[in-house]
Structure 1
Amino acid sequence: MNLLRQKDFRKLWLAQVVSQFGDGVTDLAIVVLVALGSNHAWVVGCVLFAQLLPTAVFGPFFGPLADRLPRKRLMVCADLYRLCVVIAMIPCVQHPVALVVLVALHGLGTALFTPARSAVIPQVVGEAHVPEAQAISQSTWSAMRIAGPAVGGTLLAIHDVPLIFLIDAGTFLLSAALIASLHVGKGVDIAAAEKESYLEALRSGVRQVVHVPALRFLLLLFIPVTLAAGAFNTTYNVVLLQTFQVPKVHFGLMESVFAAGTIVGALLAPAVLKRLRPSTTLMTTCGLLGISCIAVLGLNLLRFSFGLAPIYGWMMATGILNALVNVPVSSLFITITPAEFRGRGAALLQAAVNLGSMAGMLSGGWMSTAFGALTATSVSGLMLIMTAVTFPWLKGYKALHAVPSRRRPDETQMKLALSQTGENGHVEAETTP
C-alpha cells in the first residue's frame, strides 16, 4: 500500500475506484432492465457478450494508438466518450436491444482506455513496483464488484433508474479530471512512432509480442486458462443455485465472499512474488485453482453434513487463487513487453482474455446442459491441472522462468536464459524490462 503515498499513482487509483464503482452500479441495472424488458433469456446473455466483444475484436486495433499518442490524453478521451454513452442510456431504459447496443459502444471506450492505462502504470510507479500496482488494481476491482452492485440494487429498489446512469456518468467525469491532472512523461517517442504507418505499427506490435518467447508462452497459456475460467464463471452459479440449492440471500453473500477472496489474494500476491518466481507462482496457483474446481464434487457430499460452511470456505479459497493467477500474469506481461510496445501488448492480452472467456462461457453452458454443472466445473479444474503439469515443459517457459518480478534483471543473465530458447538474439535483448 506504500504506492498510495505517491501522488500520481493515488490519482490513477482513485480514478479506477470511482469509474469502476459507477460501472458496478450500472452493470447490475442494465442486466435487470434487459431481463425485465425482454421475453427472451438470450438477450440477457447478450449483455455480457456486448461487454467483452469490443475489446476482443477491436482492442488490438486500438493498441497502436496507445504507443503513438499521449496515453494520458487517450484515457481522458475514453472516459469522456463513455460518459456520453452512459447519458445516452437514460432514454433507452425501456428498450433492451438499444441498451445492449449501447453496452457494446461503451465497450469500445474500454477497449481504448485499457491498453493506455496498462502502458502508463510503469511510467507512474516504476518497473520494480508493477506487481504492487497490479495487486492494488485487482483488489480495487474486487471491492467495487461488491460496492457497486449493492448501491445499484438499492437504487433499483426505489425505482430511481435515471440516477443510476447519472452517477455512472459523474464517475467518468471525475475519473477524467483525475487522470488529466497526472504528471507523467510521454512514455514513448511519439515522433519516432509516427514514422511508421498505423498498419506497420499494428503488424510490428503483433510481431514483437509473438516473437518474444516469454510473451508467446503467456499468450499460449491463456488458451486453456481463460477457457477454464469462462466455463467456471458459467457453471458455478448453476452449481450454487440449482445443485446445492443455496438460498438467494446466501448466494449474494457467497458472491461477496468470493470477491473478498480476490481482494485477499491480490494483497498477498506481492509478498508471494518476493519469495517465488512469477512463473512458479503462476503454474502453482493454476494447479491449485484446478484442484479447487474439482473439489466441488466433494462439496456436494460435505454440504449434507456441515451445511453451507464448506461452500463459503470454497468460495473464499477460489477467490484467493483466482487473484494469485491474475496478478502475476498481468505483472509479467507489462514488465516483459518493451516500453514502446506496451500499448499493443496490453491490447493483445485483453483481447486474448476476452476471446477465451467468451469461448469458455459457451463451452461451459453446453457442458452444463449435456453433462451437468458439477461435471462441467470439475472438467474446468482438470484442464487447469493439466495446464500446470504440461506447460512448464514447453520451451517458452524457460524464458518466463528467467524473469524475476521484484527487481530489474541483469541484462546478461536475461540474454543467457532467453538464448536457451533458440530465439533471435536481437528480440531476446528487447525482452529485458
Structure 2
Amino acid sequence: MSGSGARPAARPATYGQVFAVREFRPLFGSYLLSTIGDELARVALTVLVYQRTDSALLAALTFAISYLPWLLGGPVLSALADRLPRHRVLIGSDVARAVLVAAMAVPGAPLPLLLLLLLLVSLFAPPFEAARSALMADVLEGDRYAVAISLTGTVLQVAQLIGFGLGGVLLVQFSASAALLLNAATFAVSAVWMTLGLARRPAPVQDAGEETGRSLAQDTASGLRLVIGTPRLRAIVGLLWVSALFVNAPEGIATPWTLELQDALGATGLLLAANPAGTAVGGVLVGRFCPPALRDRLLTPLVVLSLGGILLAALVPLVLDRGTTAFVVVLVLLFAAGLGGACSIPLNVAFVQAVPSAFRGRAFGVAVAGLYGVQGLGAVLAGVGADLVRPSTVVALSGAIGLAAVVVPLLSLRRSAPGPAGGDPAHVACGPPAGGPSQA
C-alpha cells in the first residue's frame, strides 16, 4: 500500500521515478486517453442534440448527464472497486464503454436511445475512477504517489483542452459520429493497454480477509461510516468539500461577472480558464519541486491563497474602473487563487496514508460524490445571489465566507495529525480491516 507507514522522503520524487513504475504507465495513459475522448464526445453529443432539437435546455442536459451517476450512485458504484479485482473493473469498464459509445456513433440513432446510451456509459465512470485511483496508490510507493497526483491533475487540464479542441475540429471536418467513434477507440486502446500492463491481484476485500457475502449497500455504508466516524478522514473530506463549495461558486456566474468587468462577452472563457491554469502550474510546483515536509507545511497557506485570491479579485472594481485593466488584474488574481488549488496534493496524500487499500474505492466514491454535489450547489447559490446583488459582491462573499468556513476543518485536521511514530487515527478507530477515502 502506497504511503501508509512509509518514511517521508527528504526530496520530492522525479517524473522519471514515477514513470519507471511499470503499472503506472497504463494507469496514466488510460486516464489521458479517456479524458480526451470523454470531452470530445461531450462536445459532439451536445452539438448533435442541439442540431436535432434546437433546444438549449436539452443540449445542456445532455452535457450534464455524464455527471449524474456520481451524484446519484457514486458511492455505491465505487464500492465495486473494492469488491472485485481492480484490474478487472478497469478493463471491463473500458470494454463496456467502447461498445456503448460505438453504438452511439451509428448514424440516425433515435435521440432517446442516444441519451440512454450516454447514461449507461456514464455509469461506468465511478467504478473505473475509484479503481484507478485506489490502484495508483497501491503501485506507487512513498513520494512517487504525491508527484503522480500533481502530474495527473496537470494532465487533466491539458486533456480537457485537447478534447474540447479536437471535438470542435472533428465536428467541422467530419461529423458527430466520427467524434464518437474516436472516443470508442480511446476506450478500446485503454482496455488493451491495461490488459497487457496491469498485474493480476485478488479483490481487495478478499486480500484483506474482510467478511464475504455482504451486499453492495452494506459495503457502501461501511465506507460512509468510516469517513464520518474517523476524525482525521472527516477533517480531510470536510476541508475538500468546504473549499470546493466556495472556490468553484464564481464559475456559476462567470458570464455576468465578465460583463460587470468589461463589455466583452467572449472574454468569459478567459475568466473560466484563469483558475484552472493556476491550479495546473501550482500542481507542478508543489508536487514536483517541494519536498514532502514542505508540502505539509504549505497546506494552510495554499488553502488561504485559493480563497483569498478570489476575495481580492472580487474587490478589484472598488479600486479600478471598469475596463481591460481591471479584467486583467482579476485574471491574475484568479490565477494566483488557482495556485492555491495545489493544496489538494498534500490532502490527497493524507487521504491515502489514513486508509488501508481494501476500502479506498468506496470511500473515494463518497468523497467525489460530495465534491460534485457541493460544486453544483455553489454554482446554484452564486446564481441566486447574482440575481439579487452585483456578481462581484457574490464572488467577494464566496471568498470571505469560504475563508471563515475552512477554519474548522483546518483545525480539526491539525488536531488529528498522526503521531511521531507514524500511527494514524483511522487505524486506531476502525481496526486493521477498516479503510477510508482515496484521493478526490
Structure 2 length normalisation: TM-score?
Answer: 0.83
Tell me, yes or no, if structure 1 residue 264 matches structure 2 residue 273: no
Give the match's secondary structure for 2:264. coil
CA separation of 1:285/1:428 partners in 2, compared to 1, >3 Å: closer, same or farther?
farther
CA separation of 1:425/1:76 partners in 2, compared to 1, >3 Å: closer, same or farther?
closer
Structure 1 residues 71-128: Cα deviation after superposition (integer angstroms, max 9, x where no partner): 0110111112222332233348786665544433222110111111111012221244
CA separation of 1:252/1:424 partners in 2, compared to 1, >3 Å: closer, same or farther?
closer
Q: Which residue of 1 aligns with 2:301?
A: 284
Give the match's secondary structure for 2:199. coil
Shift of 1:218: 2.1
Shift of 1:36: 4.3
Q: Which residue of 1 aligns with 2:6?
A: none
Q: Which residue of 2 aligns with 1:405?
A: none
Give the match's secondary structure for 2:263. coil
Q: Which residue of 1 aligns with 2:48?
A: 33
One-letter identity of the residue aligned with 2:126: A
Aligned counterparts of 1:171 and 1:38: Cα–Cα separation in 2: 28
Structure 1 length normalisation: TM-score?
Answer: 0.85
* Residue pair 1:82, 1:106 contacting (<8 A) in 2 also: yes
Tell me, yes or no, if structure 1 residue 62 matches structure 2 residue 65: no
Q: 2:403 aligns with which of 356, 362, 385?
A: 385
* Residue pair 2:354, 2:435 contacting (<8 A) in 1 also: yes
Q: Which residue of 1 aligns with 2:27?
A: 12
One-letter identity of the residue aligned with 1:310: V
Structure 1 residues 6-60: Cα deviation after superposition (integer angstroms, max 9, x where no partner): 3221221111111111112122223333444445443344235422220122121
Give the match's secondary structure for 1:337. coil
5+ residue gaps, structure 1: 403-408
Give the match's secondary structure for 1:126. coil
CA separation of 1:353/1:364 partners in 2, compared to 1, >3 Å: closer, same or farther?
same
Aligned counterparts of 2:87 and 2:66: Cα–Cα separation in 1: 23
Aligned counterparts of 2:190 and 2:356: Cα–Cα separation in 1: 27
* Residue pair 2:354, 2:427 contacting (<8 A) in 1 also: no
- 1:244-259 alignment runs, 5 A limit: 244-246=262-264, 248=266, 250-252=267-269, 255=272, 258-259=275-276
Tell me, yes or no, if structure 1 residue 427 matches structure 2 residue 436: no
- 1:32-431 alignment runs, 5 A limit: 32-91=47-106, 99-184=114-199, 186=201, 188=204, 190=206, 192-193=209-210, 195-198=212-215, 199-240=217-258, 243-246=261-264, 248=266, 250-252=267-269, 255=272, 258-270=275-287, 271-272=289-290, 274-276=292-294, 278=296, 280-300=297-317, 301=320, 304=323, 306=325, 308-322=327-341, 324-394=342-412, 396-399=413-416, 401-402=417-418, 412-414=421-423, 418=425, 425-427=428-430
Aligned counterparts of 1:144 and 1:296: Cα–Cα separation in 2: 27
Shift of 1:262: 2.5
* Larger fraction in helix: 1
Give the match's secondary structure for 1:295. helix
Aligned counterparts of 2:176 and 2:422: Cα–Cα separation in 1: 58
One-letter identity of the residue aligned with 2:125: T
Q: Which residue of 1 aligns with 2:8?
A: none
Aligned counterparts of 2:385 and 2:354: Cα–Cα separation in 1: 36
* Residue pair 1:226, 1:353 contacting (<8 A) in 2 also: yes
5+ residue gaps, structure 2: 1-14
CA RMSD of aligned residues (A): 3.0
Count of residues in correspondence between the two structures: 415
Aligned counterparts of 2:23 and 2:81: Cα–Cα separation in 1: 19
* Residue pair 1:266, 1:320 contacting (<8 A) in 2 also: yes
- Determine what percentage of the aligned residue pairs are the same residue: 22
